[in-house]
């Protein structure tokens, strides 16, 4: 009995505990300069901080005591923190030096949502004579801000660096930066279920959702959520878990849902209270032939009009009668030129898809 209880506790702890994870250090991919009022210098060649390779971002020299630079802003670090993770800390490292030993930090701040914000992390240590990394923040430092995984993964997440001359009347500051990198620390809770598949099928105005699971341990259940924009979801049904180690099948029919473009996801919740979301599935209930091209036959100038575009960006492909692709491209207006098919005569087949790769129009066209 005791061994069985210990085995149960082991599985429960293993399945629901959060696991500390680290991603990085990562280098940025976007480099800009943001002006600071009253600054003495700006940064030159900010993109040189992309790697530790002895090519530098510099600001020339600053002679006035406490003169400072604009912000050198580095973003787009390419993080891929898992959905549902808890961000526990952010560490920034700046590889810097000054052969004159006259430069120090003016301001070191984080960039969240494209805005320079958070707690100040500048240190009083001077830039060293030779390149060396200075650390800002750590595994438990969130810089005075709350974070989600999507904040970190966003292209506008990063760091802003401003330098200044130390308060010394002699000599000029000539600081330079070789590399700026970021490491992110997070906890990732493992949900006690294995979602094998999640799919949707439609019949007229009904959508049937099916999902298959395995290894359910200490699960509460599943919320079926629907959205009309892919962003704001609401729960339309809740199904309890079978809590079975073997494979289980679940299903739900959404009868006559509102709207023509629908998005679905599952919210899976464990007894611990931790939840995780499935992938999002898009379902189109629109008529497949809502989009059409005219006039037909196409005139000699080969300029067509698109009916039913509704300001959407569409992808249109043309095929010959044998199914070979003749031309394809994205269209963001109500007109389309057929110059790419100027040597083609007779019947062609067109297919129109939206940005979700759903077919929303198809037909035959005669090229004169």
pLDDT tens-digit series, residues 205-230:
899 999 999 999 888 999 999 998 88
* Residue linked to tokens 């060649």: 45
Contact of 226 with 237, CB cutoff 8 Å: no
Domains of the chain and any CATH numbers: 18-189 (2.60.120), 194-284 (2.60.40.2060), 292-367 (2.60.40.3580)
Say which residue the tokens 């301001």 belong to.
107
315-362 pLDDT, tens digit per residue, is: 999 998 888 889 888 988 888 888 888 888 888 999 988 877 777 888
Rounded to whole angstroms, the Cα distance separating 72 from 108 reads 10
CA nearest to 161, candidates 69, 62, 67: 69
pLDDT digits (tens, 9 = 90+) for 239-281: 999 998 899 999 999 998 988 888 999 999 888 677 788 888 8
**By C-alpha distance, which of 239, 238, 241 is closest to 218?**
241
b/e map of 93-114 (b: 16 or more CB within 10 Å)?
A: bbbbbbebbbbbbbbbbbbbee
DSSP annotation of 339: G
Cβ-based neighbours of 177, under 8 Å, separated by 6 or more: 48, 49, 56, 57, 58, 72, 94, 95, 96, 161
Q: What is the pLDDT of residues 68-109, one digit of tens each?
A: 999 999 999 999 988 778 899 999 999 999 999 999 999 999
Angle at 75 between CA 71 and CA 78, to 5 degrees: 165
Q: Sign of the C-alpha dihedral, residues 4, 10, 15, 17?
A: positive
Is pLDDT above 80 for 197? yes
In the chain, the percentage of residues whose pLDDT exceeds 90 is 56
| Residue 8: predicted pLDDT | 36
Comparing 132 with 329, the larger pLDDT belongs to 132
CA torsion angle 262 268 273 276 (round to 10): -70
Cβ pair 91, 143 in contact under 8 A: no
pLDDT value at residue 205: 81
Q: Which residue has the higher pLDDT, 7 or 146?
A: 146
Confidence of residue 304 (pLDDT cuts 50, 70, 90): confident
Per-residue pLDDT, 346: 87
Q: Report the alpha-carbon distance of residue 202 to residue 284 in Å, rounded.
A: 9
**Band of residue 179 on the pLDDT scale cut at 50, 70, 90:** very high
pLDDT at 66 over 90: no
Based on C-alpha coordinates, what's the Rg of the chain?
29
Q: Between 121 and 310, whose confidence is greater?
A: 121
pLDDT of residue 337: 84
pLDDT band at 294 (very low <50, low <70, confident <90, very high): confident
In whole angstroms, what is the distance from residue 265 CA to residue 211 CA? 11
Q: For 56-60, 117-121, 136-140, 231-235, which range has the lowest pLDDT when averaged over its residues? A: 231-235
pTM for the whole structure: 0.53
Write the CB contacts of 202 (distance below 8 Å, at least 6 apart in sequence). Answer: 208, 283, 285
Q: Which two tokens stand for residue 73?
A: 């802003």
pLDDT at 34 over 80: yes
Band of the pLDDT at 155, cuts 50, 70, 90? very high
d(CA 323, CA 319): 5
- As a whole number of angstroms, the distance between CA 88 and CA 74 comes to 21
Q: What is the pLDDT of residue 19?
A: 52
What b/e readout covers 187-211, taking b as 16+ CB neighbours within 10 angstroms? ebbebbbebeebebeeeeeebebeb
Q: Which pLDDT band, with edges at 50, 70 and 90, does 17 fall under?
A: very low
């Amino acid at each position: 009995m005791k061994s069985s209880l210990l085995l149960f506790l082991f599985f429960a702890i293993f399945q629901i505990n959060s696991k500390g994870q680290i991603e990085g250090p990562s280098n940025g991919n976007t480099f800009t300069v943001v002006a600071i009022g009253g600054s003495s210098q700006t940064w030159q060649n900010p993109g040189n901080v992309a790697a530790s390779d002895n090519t530098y971002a510099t600001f020339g020299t600053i002679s006035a005591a406490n003169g400072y630079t604009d912000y050198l802003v580095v973003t787009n670090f390419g993080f891929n923190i898992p959905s549902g993770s808890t961000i526990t800390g952010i560490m920034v490292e700046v590889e810097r030096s000054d052969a004159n030993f006259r430069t120090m930090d003016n301001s070191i701040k984080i960039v969240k949502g494209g805005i320079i914000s958070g707690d100040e992390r500048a240190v009083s240590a001077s830039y060293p004579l030779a390149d060396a990394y200075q650390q800002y923040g750590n595994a438990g430092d969130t810089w005075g801000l709350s974070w989600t995984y999507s904040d970190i993964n966003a292209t506008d997440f990063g760091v802003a660096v401003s330098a200044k001359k130390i308060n010394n009347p002699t000599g000029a500051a000539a600081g330079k930066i070789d590399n700026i990198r970021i490491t992110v620390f997070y906890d990732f809770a493992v949900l006690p279920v294995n979602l094998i598949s999640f799919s949707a099928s439609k019949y007229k105005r009904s959508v049937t959702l099916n999902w298959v699971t395995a290894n359910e341990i200490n699960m509460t259940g599943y919320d079926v959520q629907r959205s009309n924009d892919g962003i704001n979801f609401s729960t339309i049904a809740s199904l309890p878990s079978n809590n079975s180690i073997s494979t289980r099948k679940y299903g739900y029919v959404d009868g006559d849902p509102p709207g023509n473009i629908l998005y679905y996801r599952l919210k899976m919740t464990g007894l611990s209270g931790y939840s995780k979301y499935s992938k999002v599935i898009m379902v189109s209930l629109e008529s497949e032939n809502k989009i059409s091209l005219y006039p037909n036959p196409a005139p000699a100038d080969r300029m067509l009009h698109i009916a039913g575009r509704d300001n959407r960006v569409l992808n249109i492909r043309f095929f010959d009668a044998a199914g070979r692709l003749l031309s394809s491209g994205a269209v963001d207006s109500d007109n389309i030129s057929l110059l790419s098919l100027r040597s083609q005569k007779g019947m062609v087949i067109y297919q129109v898809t939206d940005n979700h790769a759903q077919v929303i129009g198809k037909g035959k066209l005669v090229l004169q």
